[in-house]
Amino acid sequence: MSAPHLILGIGELLWDLLPEGPRLGGAPANFTVMAGRLGNHAAILSRIGRDELGRKAVESFDELPADTEFLQIDAEHETGLVTVALKDGQPEYTIHQPAAWDFLSLSDQWVRLAERADAVCFGSLAQRSVASKQTIQELIAQTRQDCIRIFDVNLRAPFYSGEVVEESLELATVLKMNDAEVPAVLSLLGMEAETDLRSASKRLLDEFPRLLLVAITRGGQGSMLVARDGWHEHPGIAVDVVDTIGAGDAFTAAMTHYLLRGASLAVLNEAGNRWGAWVASQSGAMPSLADFVRDGIDIAIQSSVR
């Protein structure tokens, strides 16, 4: 049996302050947990405070399949917090600052890890500070040429800019965003508006030579994947939505898992939608996962392409 793929999520690790209480979150952390649940060696690269919430974060990961060995501890800044209000199941965020994850530091340990990584996922939110932006971009540049580098757009006003989006796309091989973010990304890049998602994706592929795949999620309406040699559209999986926190991150992790295995666009789409829908049917971004649920989803993914 071959060794598990090494998948890294770099960026914010924080606590989502939900109406029912605090839940561990942050897009890179959500991504990493799902990547680990799918059988990969998944490590979260972030920074937490030397405080009670930081300690609780590490304790929470003891029961989750994500490697926290590489977390940095900040003696001066607190563990990140986000106040979340839900409206019709859709989250609205108030992201507090500064937070420990605004001060990511490029350590030798992180560089050695990046040099071995099979895939790494990074977003725009964690690049809101100069320090973390520089660390993230330098770390991505240290990965192998065949490493899958996923830029997961995470536009949270006012924490994004055209500069961050453009520089990230110059590093990425995969771009993932939701349909609401497409016009904003095009505008930030100084490109003309485009209502057709496939045409918008092709324009981005033309503009950024390293980019190999554009993934656009559409909530309950499924997703579209556009590669240089083909495209695939998925209608979505119907579920009773509890909240959508972490659903997009689960999609990204499942897509990455199967992309590393050379799966077709149809399988990538099915896997992303299956796991994204499951997370949306649960409360929070890292719900408990029973073995029979995981096995059932795996079977459904494999059955979809027979």
Tell whether 129 is covered by a domain.
yes
pLDDT beyond 90 at 26: yes
Banded pLDDT at 23 (limits 50, 70, 90): confident
Taking each helix axis from N to C terminus, what angle separates 181-188 and 197-207, rounded to the nearest 10 degrees? 30
DSSP state of 174: E
DSSP state of 67: B
Tell whether 255 is covered by a domain.
yes
The pLDDT assigned to 89 comes to 64
State the residue for tokens 């990230």.
168
Per-chain mean pLDDT for the chain: 94
Integer Cα distance of 84 and 6 in angstroms? 31
pLDDT beyond 70 at 31: yes
pLDDT beyond 90 at 104: yes
At position 225, the amino acid (one-letter code) is: L
Integer Cα distance of 24 and 3 in angstroms? 28
What Cα–Cα distance (Å) separates residue 70 from each residue in 110, 122, 189, 196, 262?
7, 16, 33, 41, 28
The pLDDT assigned to 200 comes to 97
Would you mind telling me the total number of residues written for the chain in this entry? 306
Q: What is the number of other CB atoms lying within 10 angstroms of the CB of residue 291?
A: 7
At position 242, the amino acid (one-letter code) is: V
pLDDT tens for 209-264 read: 999 999 999 988 999 999 999 999 999 999 999 888 899 999 999 999 999 999 99
What Cα–Cα distance (Å) separates residue 267 from each residue in 99, 113, 150?
38, 28, 18
Q: What is the number of other CB atoms lying within 10 angstroms of the CB of residue 92?
A: 9
Domain holding 30, by residue range, is 6-303
Residue 87's DSSP bridge partners are 90
pLDDT tens for 172-189 read: 999 999 999 999 999 999
Integer Cα distance of 302 and 267 in angstroms? 8
The answer to whether the CB of 235 falls within 8 A of the CB of 217 is no
Tell whether 35 is covered by a domain.
yes
By C-alpha distance, which of 232, 49, 248, 65 is closest to 153? 248
Residue 48's DSSP bridge partners are 73
Tell whether 61 is covered by a domain.
yes
The pLDDT assigned to 16 comes to 85
Tell whether 224 is covered by a domain.
yes
Provide the number of structural domains found in the chain. Answer: 1
Q: What is the number of other CB atoms lying within 10 angstroms of the CB of residue 235?
A: 12
Longest dimension (CA), the chain: 54
Average pLDDT over residues 273-287: 93
Residue 278's DSSP bridge partners are none
Angle at 219 between CA 157 and CA 15, to 5 degrees: 50
Alpha-helical (H) ranges within 11-151 are: 27-37, 52-61, 108-116, 130-141
Residue 244: give its domain's CATH number: 3.40.1190.20
Q: What is the number of other CB atoms lying within 10 angstroms of the CB of residue 234?
A: 22
pLDDT tens for 105-132 read: 999 999 999 999 999 999 999 999 999 9
Question: How many whole angstroms from its chain centre is CA 68?
Answer: 17
Tell whether 170 is covered by a domain.
yes
Tell whether 77 is covered by a domain.
yes
CA atoms in the 13 A half-sphere facing the CB of 104: 31
By C-alpha distance, which of 209, 236, 227 is closest to 265? 227
Tell whether 1 is covered by a domain.
no
The answer to whether the CB of 27 falls within 8 A of the CB of 154 is yes
Secondary structure (DSSP) of 132-177: HHHHHHHHHHTS-TTSEEEEE----TTS--HHHHHHHHHH-SEEEE
**Across 17-26, 47-56, 84-93, 160-169, least confident range:** 84-93
